[in-house]
Amino acid sequence: MTKPVILNAAELPEWTHAELSALFAVLDLPKDPAAASAFLKEHGSEVRGIALRKARIDAAFLDALPALEIISSYSAGLDNVDIEATRSRGIRIENTSHILAEDVANAAVGLALALTRDFVNADAYVRSGQWPVRGHYRLGRSISRMKVGVVGLGSIGSAIAKRLQAFGSKIAYFGPSRKAVDIPYYDDVSRLARDSDMIILTCPLSPATHHLIDAAVIEALGPNGFLVNIARGPVVDESALIEALAADKLAGAALDVFEHEPAVPEALLRDHRLVLTPHIGSGTEETRRAMAENVVDTLAKHFGIEGPRDRAASMKELETID
């Protein structure tokens, strides 16, 4: 039986490539754009699935793959995929938002606590020997007594809301539509910001959310407000954020993502009111492995092939029966 042809457009662990190669006929997409275009012209008609991470999948790319059935993405965000063109072709899209939600939510809460309690600067205060000299450290803010607005109540946003509710925070959310949840809903992000002490961004990046958090939203959040972004950098107008911080129009921000990462503006690097991390929201060994496994398992399931996890489960079941 001929193996389905899969286009590997992802930098994944070696063991993942080995699993893909055992199940499929794998074609590796060249990194050079010109070479990739020529490669697709020659081999594109054979491709039925894509293992994706960061490669840009636009309408022209899809036109070169007339037999494509499924895109299995390692990432949660699909801002590198032309969703409209993909859906118009009836191509299935799978990502890993359901897998990484818990660890990204943990990271978001950790960032929120580090921001409101000033843990990073407090650590430096102890290490630099200032504590014995200057005495007690300045007071922080209580997240348990805050109104927190979640921008995007998907799997990640819902996991964050659940955690903060356990802390005692009052949660509200903004999104394109109301969900069947017992949490106050706002259809205007500026109004949500005005009524919140902190907003946490979890929404996907799309034309509708690009620079969603602009000068007006930051102004609404106010000089005592906090911003946490674990979504995508361009959801925030970074220039507007820098201007607001320079004018003391925001208490602080925790950013795991940046508009032009890995480049981070000097103004943000110098500002001690900020907590900055290098896009590590889902960065645990357990979650990253599960994300890679999902790329393989989703493709295998789509094509009716027994994958590595299926075989392991079958063997375990047989051992139980024996």
Q: Please tell me the distance from the alpha carbon of residue 298 to that of residue 141, in angstroms, as a whole number.
A: 44
- CB distance 200 to 160 below 8 Å: yes
Strand blocks (E) in 17-125:
25-28, 47-52, 70-73, 92-94
Residue with the two structure tokens 């630099």: 128
Q: Which of 279, 289, 302, 309 is catalytic?
A: 279
Reduce the DSSP state of residue 215 to 3 states and report it: helix
Residue with the two structure tokens 């491709």: 47
Q: Please tell me the distance from the alpha carbon of residue 3 to that of residue 153, in angstroms, as a whole number.
A: 39
- CB distance 32 to 54 below 8 Å: no
Respond yes or no: is residue 261 known to be catalytic: yes
Q: Which of 94, 232, 238, 293 is catalytic?
A: 232
Q: No. of H helices and E strands in the chain?
A: 14, 12
Q: Which of 46, 69, 243, 261 is catalytic?
A: 261
Q: How many angstroms separate the Cα of 18 from the Cα of each of 25, 106, 313?
A: 11, 31, 19
Active site residues: 232, 261, 279
